[in-house]
Amino acid sequence: MVAGISKTADELLKPFMMVVRSMPVVSWLASAILLWGMGWMTPTFIVAVSLFPVVSFNVAEGVRSVDLLLVEMAKVYRVPKKRIIVDIYLGSLVPFVLSAFKVSIGTMWKVAIVAEYLAGNKGIGVELSWAKFYLNTPKVFAYTMLAVLAGLSLEKVFDFLWEVYGKRWRISPEMH
Amino acid sequence: MADIAGNALKIEKLSKSYGTLKVLDEIDVEVKKGERVALLGPSGCGKTTILKIVAGLTRPDGGNILLEVSKIGFVFQEDRLIPWKTVCGNLEFVSSDTHKVEKVLKLVRLWDYRNFYPLQLSGGMKQRVNLARALLVEPDLLLLDEPFKGLDLEIKAELMNEILRMCRSMSITALLVTHDLREALIFADRIYVLSPAPARVKNVLEIDLPSEHRDFCDTKLLDKEKEVLSQGFWLPFGLPESPLRSK
């Protein structure tokens, strides 16, 4: 958000964002295992860190695209700053954040399974790891199928949410 | 301190430049309490800048704005409605008093559309919400920035009647900026004719038309328009062709 509001902040944050973007997932994974060991924390962190560049880029774009005429209108009517931030700035961000999630949900799911496979203590990734360890091919295929179905369902849930909550931003004119 | 007695708004020697471009050059305007005044000038002459300065959105380079009002309502040229909020939500963004919201929506005859989103409304309806939002703050001074721009004649006439009805019934002081002479004649008790940028007040016209003749197709109004045009004032661009002008 800060990067979207201030160009200076955007310039200052750019190197950090570039480092985050270019860092290989396995490096994050290794660091997370060293930090938290095996468990749910590591996969969660890996998903968050791989989602961060896409979401932050979209949020910054969203803030930049805020309709300043709406902000001006709010100033004329002396609307409190808190309301301007919540109703105008955050309101403008919703479609950008939703589209960022919509685009990266598939990748996010795959990253989560890899992270579980390497550093989790339960979940599909962990089951796949055990199936490989015991050379249980049917189990590998079964969990792969389950992962694909879960990924598709997750995408469908997001499509549904986008359909319900994104409606206001792209509602079709009916009364012209 | 300068004298403002009897006036709701007094603009004295107002000047403003954007970089090297001077847009306002010592503008003097007086608006008495309860009066409707129009600033008539060509597009780009700085009319909106005057309203923005009055509303406190822009700082002038020189001159004074003396206001004897506490609440200002602004009807913007573009509707400036929040797309993801309903009609009701847009009004509640400005005032959380739901009774007032209901009252103004009924006044502008949009109560049945309270749960509609802006994109579901026609241009005229959006401008009525824009007007309702301005009325919601119970303004002492109503600023209107070309609110009829882009509307067809029928909707324009309907909205004009709506605004005039509100101004009369609530004794609202109003300042309209427009480039359309007929709009100004229908709306105002007094018209300040501005020159192209840098805007200066070229003429001040007192309009004494009775309210029943303040209509887009009224013969008396068209006669008045012809009379004003024949006085050889600078004429605004984009003036709609009147049947009397072509005679």
State how far the Cα of B111 lies from the Cα of B25, in Å rounded to an integer: 44
DSSP A40: S
CA A63 from chain centre, in angstroms, equals 17
CB contact under 8 Å between A70 and B82, yes or no, is yes
b/e burial code for range B18-40 (CB count within 10 A of at least 16 → b): eeeeebbbebebbbbeebbbbbb
Q: H helices then E strands: how many in chain B?
A: 7, 9
Residue B97, both tokens: 């008093």
Residue B215, pLDDT score = 81
Tell me which of B58, B77, B84, B122 to substitute to probe the interface with A (most A C-beta atoms closer than 10 Å).
Answer: B84
Q: Where is pLDDT greater, at B230 or B60?
A: B60
Q: Which residues of A touch B56 (CB under 8 A)?
A: 76
Overall average pLDDT of the B24-41 stretch: 91
Comparing CA positions, the residue from B141, B206, B192, B232 lying closest to residue B26 is: B192
| pLDDT reading at A60 higher than 90 | no
Report how far apart, in Å, the C-alpha atoms of B210 and of each of B187, B207, B220, B227 are: 11, 9, 10, 16
Overall average pLDDT of the B139-144 stretch: 92
**Would you say B228 and B193 are in contact if contact means Cβ atoms under 8 Å apart?**
no
CB contact under 8 Å between A76 and B121, yes or no, is no
pLDDT tens for each residue of A72-102: 999 999 999 999 988 998 888 887 888 788 7
User: Which range (B72-86, B108-122, B197-211) has the least confidence?
Assistant: B197-211
State how far the Cα of B32 lies from the Cα of B39, in Å rounded to an integer: 14
Block residue for tokens 């309101």:
A91
CB contact under 8 Å between B74 and A83, yes or no, is no
CB contact under 8 Å between B119 and A94, yes or no, is no
Which chain A residue has its CA at the smallest distance from B76's CA?
A73
Tell me which of A76, A81, A170 to substitute to probe the interface with B (most B C-beta atoms closer than 10 Å).
Answer: A76
The whole-angstrom distance between B124's CA and the closest CA on chain A is 10
The whole-angstrom distance between B55's CA and the closest CA on chain A is 6
CA B192 from chain centre, in angstroms, equals 13
CB contact under 8 Å between B82 and A174, yes or no, is no
b/e burial code for range B69-83 (CB count within 10 A of at least 16 → b): beebbbbbbbbbbbb
Torsion of CA B126, B128, B129, B134, to 10 degrees: 130
Q: Which of A69, A76, A88 sits opposite B78 (nearest CB)?
A: A69
Q: What angle do CA B199, A77, B23 make, to 5 degrees?
A: 10
State how far the Cα of A107 lies from the Cα of A31, in Å rounded to an integer: 21
CB contact under 8 Å between A87 and B120, yes or no, is no
CB contact under 8 Å between A76 and B122, yes or no, is no
CB contact under 8 Å between B57 and A73, yes or no, is no
CB contact under 8 Å between B80 and A88, yes or no, is no
pLDDT tens for each residue of B41-95: 888 888 899 999 999 999 999 998 998 888 899 999 889 999 889 999 999 999 9
Which chain A residue has its CA at the smallest distance from B121's CA?
A175
State how far the Cα of B207 lies from the Cα of B242, in Å rounded to an integer: 19
pTM: 0.76
Q: Which of A70, A94, A168 sits opposite B80 (nearest CB)?
A: A70
| pLDDT reading at B246 higher than 50 | no
State how far the Cα of B218 lies from the Cα of B240, in Å rounded to an integer: 14
CB contact under 8 Å between A77 and B133, yes or no, is yes
Contacts of B94 (CB under 8 A, 6+ apart): A77, A79, B133, B136, B137
What strand order describes the sheet that includes B62-67? B21-32, B7-18, B62-67
Residue B54, pLDDT score = 93
User: Which range (A133-137, A151-155, B152-156, B183-187) has the least confidence?
Assistant: B152-156
CB contact under 8 Å between B57 and A76, yes or no, is yes
Strand partners, B29: B11
The whole-angstrom distance between A144's CA and the closest CA on chain B is 40
Q: Which residues of B touch A87 (CB under 8 A)?
A: 82, 85, 93
Q: Where is pLDDT greater, at B113 or B45?
A: B113
Residues of A in CB contact (< 8 Å) with B are: 69-70, 72-77, 79, 83, 87-88, 91, 94, 168-169, 171-176
User: Average model confidence (pLDDT) for chain B?
Assistant: 86
- A18, with CB counted inside 10 A (0-12, 13-18, 19+), is exposed
Half-sphere exposure of A124 (CA within 13 A, CB side): 18
pLDDT tens for each residue of A134-176: 999 999 999 999 999 998 998 888 888 777 766 666 544 443 3
